[in-house]
Amino acid sequence: MKTRVLVKEGEYRLSKAFCMDPKIDAEELYCFLTGLDKVTLFLKAEEEVPPETEEKYMELIKKRAERIPLQHITGTQEFMGHTFKVSPDVLIPRQDTEILVTEAAKTIQDTPKEKLSFMEKLKGNKEWDVLDLCCGSGAVGISLAKICPNIKVVASDVSGEAVKLAEENARSLRAKVKFLQGDMLEPHKGSKFDMIVTNPPYIKTNMISILQEEVKDHEPLKALDGGRDGLEFYRIIVEQAADFLKPEGFLLMEIGHDQGEDLRKMLRDSEKYTAAEVIRDLPGKDRVVKCQLK
């Protein structure tokens, strides 16, 4: 069978299984199996596929048709221009979360010169202590460490398996990040940070059952379930983060598309933070809340 015909058959089977992007996934799986890139795949479209390759490819298609996430089959996900290892123990990094990283990096890089200490002025920039809370695969903290040379990143997660995978990602991407295991801010007692960034669980419990099968059946529930109203972990963060921030330290939280006003009110009612700024994604939906310690 020709490459073009085989990949088309893969696309057809994924389409019948109601996979969201059957064409993209069919191509990605063939590239993963053969080591080809998309350009070479196009150039080899009319070449005959060896029977053993055809058999292995259809096995991968069968897995994907069972709604196993593509990233769990390939073991990787691209995020902020880097390849991260993923597994069923961590939430697969989403493009939406790149907004959190981008806003955090922009905040770090835009430090006013007048706020620098004498030693920081000599070095040319402020040195930031940053906490990546609920780090999962480590994608947020590691990406920040790769973007900003003037930061020290600590990352933590309640899941020991997530921490192990995040450490592996940091090693493979040569990012200097310290990882700790523990529940929420508990591992950081006595520490103070210039910035806390976090992508906590924020899906309402009763909404989990209507998520895509790839998500609800294969990604860790504890990384998704934000409680009855989706705000359970934000209450903890808003209440406790002030004790872990330096004066005028920043708090940036990824949120659900309809949670902006809830977080504004929560932060305002706490009276610990400045008025919250809600950053929206490209479709115009709430995505990140940013504020500072008063």
- Confidence class of residue 121 from pLDDT cuts 50, 70 and 90? low
Q: What is residue 119's predicted lDDT score, i.e. its pLDDT?
A: 57
**pLDDT above 90 as % of the chain:** 92
Q: What is the pTM of this model?
A: 0.91
SS (H, E, C) the chain: CEHHHHHHHHHHHHHHCCCCCHHHHHHHHHHHHHCCCHHHHHHCCCCECCHHHHHHHHHHHHHHHCCCCHHHHHCEEEECCEEEECCCCCCCCCCCHHHHHHHHHHHHHCCCHHHCCHHHHHHCCCCEEEEEECCCCCHHHHHHHHHCCCEEEEEEECCHHHHHHHHHHHHHCCCCEEEEECCCCHHHCCCCEEEEEECCCCECHHHHHHCCHHHHCCCCHHHCECCCCCCHHHHHHHHHHHHHEEEEEEEEEECCCCCHHHHHHHHHHHCCECCCEEEECCCCCEEEEEEEEC
pLDDT at 126: 76
